[in-house]
Chains A and B, each alone.
Chain A
């Protein structure tokens, strides 16, 4: 049963998660957190080029959604895309090298943080254009539909993109073509420095679903289980030919729009309060350990492995070669 009420925050665990699933979920969320915390530290040294937009705090969303997906399913991501990449199965070592501008990076150092893509795992790219992914997932979903394949496509977008025409066009198109698309709105409360309370004209982004003839639901994005359930229901519906859905995940980012943003538009203590009371990793750990599905030792050993992985990725990225002049004009035809 898919909830039709757009602001329904109730979730019930209907899909049994195995011990392996829970370990995987925790590992994914921890990997994202460690990756982003490490970037936050390293960016401050001035060695990392360009912009980075960190996903720390939002891990339950990417993880809860992508745990329902296969490598044949597609996702489109945003400028804040590291978490989506990791959750969809892109190699964090290649990602770190990419962000450091190295030839060994996922995109050979030609894309950078905002454009990490790996089509071999169904990752259509982080995207530097707000709202750019909506139309693209309509295409990957159309391809699956025309080929009779059960694959779905997910468009992650933020509260900022929720006001872009491309998202409206894509939601309408997905609905009129009855495509297997999930529009996954990550409402972290701020589009750059502008509050979604100001920029979004309705109470919940999910309220817009009915305008496009699809179900919508708003869920607590700090709760992995809530996201997993809501996204899972929408994905299942899409796989069975039921068409698109809009899932709004309300969450928060721990860092600024980009690194260097002092976030003076936020209330004093806002982020610390969320970290202390709502953090998705803390909530997850408490729930699975008090429920007896996992032990603290299980989690500790994942923490140690993830730390080693990320430490190793940074060491490698720093020592890997940068692209050379010979790489400047490859991967594009040149006619001038």
Chain B
């Protein structure tokens, strides 16, 4: 039965249901319980924003606080996965990738191929990403592009509560390392989510809205900006189709290309920086494989090539807006 819960609650529910289903599922990270070794509550925090709250007592011994040693515990999660556990390691902010990247891209991502297919590494690394919280340059990045570049990793960027639950369950059941990225601005978003467990397959984009004038491919939180823009464009007689890839690796290229072939116009909205981004990747894909369908240039709407600024005045300028998308769609519609 579906009822309205938040994105954050949906993540908690997915973890809870998978931990109940499979004793090999463990959760580890900094303050995922919050209170280890302290004189007060042993689960005082349940994650820095409370996402894992309540799991500590429901699943004794399987919600494990770690020291602030990202290489150490992310690597430990990978090692545990090599012998059949299904660890979910929380990296807190994806920006902390900088202190554990080797374990992710040289170890976890490589094992299956490098060992001739004789190992599996069913680990999930969860992290928050994205701007909008005045958290500045080291706590606001969108690093899915970096992970997407690495063969051997799967990369998930859910845009709503329904998807975040189904995709997290799929991530835990998947036998490859999965990078699961949660936009912190979505944590309070409410949506219809079934109580029962369900998995959403990787590599299947969602057509969030159908339209015939322009395709908007949007990643993560940018799906919401695209929806806002599409509503405005509708008033102006432009019918936008919105594609949410949901996973950037594997990427559902078929759904994107089919839409571009239908509309002849493509806008890609990616909160990350422009160079070597999902925007440039998907633009390249369409240019190479749907060239003859294009009726206008491809437009990429991204954050600028700058670190994320702190001041609200600057950060609001940094984040791609619905107005940017509306303007781009109109210019494409008017092209020739």
- Seen from chain A, the residues whose Cβ lies within 8 Å of a Cβ on chain B are 74, 76, 105-111, 115, 117-120, 124-125, 127-129, 132, 134-144, 146, 153, 165-166, 169-170, 172-173, 176-177, 330-336
Contacts and interface: CB of A to CB of B under 8 A. Distances in A.
A134 B75 contact: yes
Contacts of A135: 71-76, 78-79, 103
Given A118-B118, A331-B116, A172 B106 contact: no
Contact of B114 (A110, A132, A137): A110
A142 B76 CA distance: 8
B111 A125 contact: yes
B66 A173 contact: yes
Given A108-B117, A111-B116, A146-B61, A332 B67 contact: no
Given A129-B107, A142-B79, 7 more contacts: A108-B117, A142-B64, A142-B80, A144-B83, A172-B72, A331-B116, A335-B251
B67 A166 contact: no
B107 to A, nearest CB: 6
Interface string B107-151: 100111111111100000000000000000000000000000001
29 contacts: A106-B116, A107-B114, A110-B113, A117-B118, A118-B118, A119-B82, A119-B118, A124-B79, A125-B114, A132-B102, A135-B72, A135-B103, A136-B79, A138-B72, A138-B75, A139-B82, A142-B80, A143-B79, A143-B83, A146-B26, A153-B79, A166-B71, A166-B103, A173-B66, A173-B73, A176-B67, A333-B250, A334-B151, A336-B253
Given A111-B116, A115-B115, A140 B69 contact: no
B79 A140 contact: yes
Contact of B113 (A119, A142, A170, A332): A332
A271 to B, nearest CB: 32
A143 B123 CA distance: 13
A238 to B, nearest CB: 15
A332 B150 CA distance: 11
A140 B80 contact: yes
Contacts of B64: 142, 177
Query: What does DSSP make chain A's interface, helix, strand, loop or mixed?
Result: mixed
Contacts of B106: 128-129, 132
A143 B84 contact: yes
A166 B66 CA distance: 14
Contacts of B250: 333, 335
B62 interface: yes
B80 A143 contact: yes
Contacts of A124: 79, 82
Contacts of B66: 173
User: Which 5 A-B pairs rank lowest in CB-CB distance, beginning with the nearest?
Assistant: A135-B75, A139-B79, A335-B250, A169-B72, A108-B116
Nearest to B251: A335
B31 to A, nearest CB: 14
Contacts of A153: 79
A332 B82 contact: no
Contact of A146 (B62, B69, B72, B82): B62
B121 to A, nearest CB: 10
A165 B68 CA distance: 12
A144 B79 CA distance: 11
Nearest to A128: B106
Contacts of B77: 139
Interface string B86-113: 0100000000000000110011001111
B26 A117 contact: no
Contact of B76 (A138, A144, A333, A334): A138
B83 A136 contact: no
A159 B237 CA distance: 69
B249 interface: yes
Given A108-B117, A169-B71, A333-B250, A138 B111 contact: no
A71 B77 CA distance: 21
Contacts of B249: 335
Given A125-B111, A136-B78, A136-B79, A166 B117 contact: no
Nearest to B28: A142
Contact of A107 (B73, B87, B116): B116
| Max chain B C-beta neighbours (<10 A), residue from A107, A128, A137 | A107
B3 to A, nearest CB: 33
A57 B106 CA distance: 29
B81 interface: yes
B75 A110 contact: no
Nearest to A176: B67
Contacts of A109: 116
B152 interface: yes
B69 A132 contact: no
Contacts of B203: 335
Given A135-B71, A135-B76, A138-B76, A115 B114 contact: yes
B112 A173 contact: no
A117 B71 contact: no
B80 A166 contact: no
Contacts of A172: 67, 69, 72
Contacts of B69: 169, 172-173
B271 interface: no
Nearest to B66: A173
